[in-house]
């Protein structure tokens, strides 16, 4: 099962408490720990978290700097815990605009957890699905013919994904907004969408379990009518 999460609302969480936005991001990092552990316990095989979008470069310099400092700290401190739980870390997105110091930390965490198999934790940093698909098309422009498998493999290369990720089963967005915000547009073609009003720092294991429970009640037909889906399953 592949779950993707748009972790929205850190800044608003801090503002409502008359705190700097960086305090909201620190609180959000604690929620990441909680949800990663909950995902492992629930048998999730791939968890993709939207940490920093390409559009986030437009935020104030101080906030951007604080976000990257927090990311470096998270990777440095949590890699050992991921090893203990056999969680493979993979940072996806562009890398040409990241600092050498952050790149070193990313590569060290990825290499250390490369053999972990229990769950893949993908963290999207400087990520834009539109950019990824455009760059994939640019690289494939000279190919004689393009099939879906080749597109997926090239998209994974563009995104620095260790291996092509499975399609997203469930996308969760906190913070009350109801949009994808340029996140995993290819992989979310048939994803079930779950939007919640609570801000990311307030999203806890109970809220995560409720999202899983609602997902279990969804009738996923993938464009088929129920009768055709049942017949196809019977043939399998």
Identify the pLDDT of residue 227: 59
Residues marked as catalytic? 8, 56
CATH placement of domain 2-129+166-235: 3.40.1180.10
Q: Residue 142 — pLDDT band, cuts 50, 70, 90? A: confident
* Tokens (6 digits) for 93: 């997105």
CA 57 to each of CA 64, 75, 101, 125, 231: distance values in angstroms, whole numbers, following the listed order: 7, 20, 18, 11, 49
Local confidence band at 145 (pLDDT 50, 70, 90 cut-offs): confident
pLDDT, tens digit, for every residue of 65-106?
Answer: 999 999 999 999 999 999 999 999 999 999 999 999 999 999
Q: pTM to 2 decimals? A: 0.91
Residue 138 to residue 111: CA distance in whole angstroms: 29
DSSP the chain: -EEEEE---HHHHHHHTT--HHHHHHHHHHHHHHHHHHHHHTT-SEEEEEEEEGGGGGS-HHHHHHHHHHHHHHHHHHHHHHHHTTEEEEEES--TTS-HHHHHHHHHHHHHTTT--SEEEEEEEEE-HHHHHHHHHHHHTT-S---HHHHHHHHHHHHT-SSPPPPPSEEEE-SS--S-TTSSTTTTTT-EEEE-SS-GGG--HHHHHHHHHHHHH----TTS-HHHHHHHHHH-
Residues 213-221, mean pLDDT to the nearest whole number: 87
């Amino acid at each position: 099962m592949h779950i993707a999460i748009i972790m929205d609302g850190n800044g608003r969480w801090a503002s409502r408490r008359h705190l700097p936005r960086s305090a909201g991001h620190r609180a959000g990092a604690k929620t990441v720990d909680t949800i990663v552990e909950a995902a492992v316990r629930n048998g999730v095989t791939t968890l993709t978290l939207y940490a920093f979008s390409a559009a986030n470069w437009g935020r104030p310099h101080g906030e951007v700097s604080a976000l990257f400092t927090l990311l470096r700290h998270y990777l440095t401190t949590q890699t050992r815990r991921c090893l203990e739980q056999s969680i493979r870390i993979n940072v996806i997105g562009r890398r040409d605009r990241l600092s050498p110091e952050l790149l070193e930390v990313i590569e060290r965490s990825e290499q250390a957890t490369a053999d972990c198999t229990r769950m893949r934790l993908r963290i999207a940093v400087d990520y834009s699905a539109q950019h990824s698909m455009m760059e994939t098309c640019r690289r494939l422009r000279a190919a004689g013919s393009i099939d879906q498998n080749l597109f997926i493999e090239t998209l994974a290369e563009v995104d620095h994904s260790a291996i092509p990720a499975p399609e997203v089963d469930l996308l969760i967005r906190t913070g009350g907004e109801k949009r994808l915000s340029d996140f995993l547009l290819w992989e979310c073609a048939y994803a079930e969408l779950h939007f919640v009003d609570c801000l990311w720092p307030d999203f806890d294991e109970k809220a995560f379990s409720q999202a899983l429970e609602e997902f279990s009640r969804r009738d996923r037909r993938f464009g088929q009518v129920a009768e055709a889906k049942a017949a196809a399953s019977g043939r399998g």
